Amino acid sequence: MININGAGQTYRGKRGTVEALQDINLTVGRGEFLTLIGRSGCGKSTLLNMIAGLLKPTAGEITIDGTPVTGPRRDVAMVFQRPALLPWRSVEKNVMLPAEIFGWRKTDVRERADRLLELTGLTAFRKRLPHELSGGMQQRVSLCRALIQQPTVMLMDEPFSALDALTREELAVELQRIHLEMQTTIVFVTHSIPEAVLLADRVAVLSSRPGRLAELVEIEIPRPRTFGHNAHMEQVTAASARLHDLLLV
């Protein structure tokens, strides 16, 4: 699905050269949920932007379904830390925005929009403006807007980091449910070890700059998963401890 072959990123400026990423080799399978975790400045967001085609690698190559990534693609959606909703458009019209951008007939995607709003609990708020919503609800709208284009790949750059702890947990559980239903391939950047363990099939741990793939950790915990007490607490604790030890290196 996503193949990253020897990818690197070096920034050159007036103050010198900064090597952000070095020799990243990674394959993400179709329908997989992969989280990227590492210390601040290790290149997580840089790697995500390279997969999205927003930033060209200075070394190596990234392909999706065998096609080299040379720029943004319609089958790849991205969700950022901030929802970036258009304040003058209702929830429904924000979700439908990709239909206008890509020139789709609204009648062809309205049913899909209705289903996504229902899936995320936003049906009753479809006519509301963004400022009338909580931060968590705004991020749900952003998620719907990304999913309406039926992406084969969804890239998420710390989408819950600006939210309070309880809302963050709620949305992480919700995203897990959506992923189980829709089976979209997801690459998710986070600083949170509990979030990584809750969501991921595998966790890619990046080393400090220049970011290298330090280890791939399999999260073999049955789904659905929760943050609370459950029958798999021993596995959750072991996976969390392993990630914690890797991030201290």
Q: How many residues does this entry show for the chain?
A: 249
CB 207 within 8 A of CB 38: yes
CB 171 within 8 A of CB 227: no
Q: Please tell me the distance from the alpha carbon of residue 34 to that of residue 146, in angstroms, as a whole number.
A: 18
CA distances from residue 8 to 50, 58, 62, 199 in whole angstroms, order as listed = 9, 6, 10, 26
Instruction: Write out the two tokens for 206.
Output: 């990046």
Nearest to 214 by CA among 190, 194, 242: 242
pTM: 0.91
**Quick one: pLDDT at residue 230?**
66
Q: Phi first, then psi: what are they for 105, rounded to 5°?
A: -75, 130
Q: What does the pLDDT look like over 104-162, one tens digit per residue?
A: 887 778 888 998 998 888 999 999 999 999 988 999 999 999 999 889 999 999 988 88
Instruction: Write out the two tokens for 4.
Output: 């990253």
The set of residues, in sequence order, having a beta carbon less than 8 Å from that of 91 and lying 6+ positions away, is 117, 122, 125, 126, 127, 128, 129, 130, 133, 141
Q: Which residues of the chain have pLDDT under 50?
A: none
Instruction: Write out the two tokens for 1.
Output: 């699905």
- Domains for the chain: give ranges and CATH numbers: 2-75+153-248 (3.40.50.300), 82-150 (no CATH)
**Quick one: pLDDT at residue 237?**
85
**Quick one: pLDDT at residue 249?**
67
